[in-house]
Amino acid sequence: MKIKGSLTLPLQPNDSARKQMSSPHILIADDHAVIRTGLKYLLARHFKDVVTGEADACSTLTSCLEKESYTHLILDMQLGDCNSLERIPEILSNHPDILILVYTMSPEAIYGKRLLQMGVLSFLSKEEEEETLIHALTLFLQGRPYISEALRSAIEQEQGRTGQSANPFDELSEREMAVLRFLLQGLRVKEIANRLDLKMSTVATYKVRIFEKLNVNNVADMHRLADVYHLG
């Protein structure tokens, strides 16, 4: 992790982002104390009301997740007593609401796409500069994915080779796109119904159709897909 002296960024999230970022409870799992300390420093410096915990091994990671209700997990792929890649499915199964950012020296080209498919929200290399790290953390605390240009390009190239290059969002109707954009903004079904003057049941049906057409299981997956296709 490249931590420079002092970097001040204009982090001014909108009201929706502020609501999602309120009092995040973040577990930092890394077997290097300097990484944990550096991340805690950056989180405290650039984000308000952040509560952090630490784990230096898979055994302490499991214990921490059982004892506390963490909203976010920053995870290194290689912990002292295990390969945490093997633990991610179990973590997501036992804690389905937790958001995971993998922060690692492991090569993005090999693991990035696989981790995103497993349900990890973001993948970030420890080689990135501090500015990129803070940008990724900002998105992470908003519940939005960070995907590097290199990983995005690799995903798009693979989709092209497999004949899946068509933008899946093109399959959505105008009304479904309207609902989609509100979902990406963090609005709930009731709020969307009020905005579009529709019944809640109608909006819920649109949401199901959107998930089916995009082949996603939740809003976090939808955010990742929207980011890959540069959906603003």
Enclosing domain of residue 30: 15-157
Alpha-carbon separation of residue 164 from 113, 151, 161, 192 (angstroms): 15, 17, 8, 31
- The whole-number average pLDDT for the span 132-152 is 90
**Lowest mean pLDDT across 4-8, 116-120, 162-166:** 4-8
Number of compact structural domains in the chain: 2
Chain segment 33-92, per-residue pLDDT in tens: 999 999 999 999 999 889 999 999 998 999 999 999 999 999 998 887 777 888 898 999
Residues 42 and 118 reside in one and the same domain: yes
Chain segment 176-230, per-residue pLDDT in tens: 988 998 998 899 999 999 999 999 999 999 999 999 988 888 888 888 788 777 7
Confidence tier at 3 by pLDDT (50, 70, 90)? very low
Which residue in 229, 215, 121 sits closest to 167, CA to CA? 229
Alpha-carbon separation of residue 121 from 39, 53, 194, 210 (angstroms): 18, 19, 29, 19
Last residue of a domain, one of 157, 178, 208: 157
- The whole-number average pLDDT for the span 1-6 is 38
The per-residue pLDDT for 164 is 53
In the chain, the amino acid numbered 68 is E
Last residue of a domain, one of 157, 177, 208: 157
The CA distance from 72 to 97, in Å, is 9
Residues 22 and 70 reside in one and the same domain: yes
Q: Is the dihedral of CA 80, 83, 87, 88 positive or negative?
A: positive
Residues 137 and 184 reside in one and the same domain: no
Residues 176 and 148 reside in one and the same domain: no
The per-residue pLDDT for 31 is 93
Residue 124 domain-assigned? yes
In the chain, what is the straight-line distance between the N-terminal and C-terminal CA atoms, in Å? Answer: 30
Q: Indicate the angle between helix axes 130-141 and 33-46, nearest 10 degrees.
A: 70
Query: pLDDT at residue 16 above 50?
Result: no
Residues 93 and 153 reside in one and the same domain: yes
Which residue in 40, 96, 230, 133 sits closest to 123, CA to CA? 133
Domain CATH for 102: 3.40.50.2300
Query: pLDDT at residue 2 above 70?
Result: no
Mean pLDDT for the chain overall: 83
Domain CATH for 204: 1.10.10.10
Residues 92 and 201 reside in one and the same domain: no
Q: Indicate the angle between helix axes 219-228 and 200-214, nearest 10 degrees.
A: 50
Q: Are 131 and 102 in contact (CB under 8 A)?
A: no
Residues 37 and 114 reside in one and the same domain: yes
Residue 9 domain-assigned? no
Largest CA distance in the chain: 54
Residues 125 and 75 reside in one and the same domain: yes
Residues 39 and 150 reside in one and the same domain: yes
Confidence tier at 23 by pLDDT (50, 70, 90)? confident
Residues 127 and 214 reside in one and the same domain: no
* pTM, full prediction: 0.64
Residues 153 and 129 reside in one and the same domain: yes
The CA distance from 229 to 60, in Å, is 37
Which residue in 2, 11, 15, 35 sits closest to 137, CA to CA? 11
Query: pLDDT at residue 163 above 80?
Result: no
Q: What are the DSSP calls for 3-55, one per residue?
A: --S---------HHHHHHHSS-EEEEE-S-HHHHHHHHHHHHHHSTT-EEEEE
Residues 149 and 39 reside in one and the same domain: yes
The per-residue pLDDT for 228 is 72
Confidence tier at 151 by pLDDT (50, 70, 90)? confident
